[in-house]
Amino acid sequence: MSLIPWLRWNEAPPRLSSRSPAEMVLETLMVELAGQMREAERQQWERSNAVRKICTGVDYSWLASAPRPTYDLSPGERMQLEDVCAKIHPSYCGPAILRFRQLIAEHEPEVQEVSGLFRSVLQEVLERMQQEEEAQKLTRQWNLRPRATFKTRARIAPLVSDIRTISEDVERDAPPPTRTWSLPEFRAQKEY
């Protein structure tokens, strides 16, 4: 048994990738698409072999393995998918892959349908990104709008009474009574 793998402690740590997050998202999503297309192609080939075996009653797959035809995206479709993938924010990459895998498991599509499912997942993610961006924009606008200041015209004066009444002259001559009520008295501010 060799001890060389255990002695790698003195090697330099791996460097961080110099690629941008958008490039990494693009590559990750396209690799996922290619992998799912290969898997769908394999499943389609297995289904056709099972049907052939049932129809003929004989399995010759062990004798000769014919090269399987592979399905490739057209260059135009590939470029369109890459353009859409480039718009995906890195934080949405994982959820997009999970949703794509979920749809593949639910529908078990043919190879030609995989790119359409992928495109629909990317559109869903872009719509969700726009909705969340609009919600954040509204939140920012709400938080940055000027606050309405409510200047009260009434002032609470629990012990003083300046309310004008009909019997004003009687009250003016009498000493102001001490306030004994439990509720405060409201009065309008005098304008000068």
Domain residue ranges of the chain, discontinuous segments joined by + = 19-60+70-142
Question: Residues 81, 115: contact at Cβ < 8 Å?
Answer: yes
Residue among 78, 66, 72 nearest 38 (CA): 72
Query: Alpha-carbon distance 61 to 59, whole Å?
Result: 6
Query: Alpha-carbon distance 24 to 22, whole Å?
Result: 5
pTM: 0.62
For 129-158, write each residue's pLDDT tens digit.
Answer: 999 999 999 888 888 876 655 555 555 555
Q: 154 has which bridge partners?
A: 188
Residues 6+ apart with CB under 8 A from 80: 119
For 25-69, write each residue's pLDDT tens digit.
Answer: 999 999 999 999 999 998 988 888 888 888 887 776 667 666 666
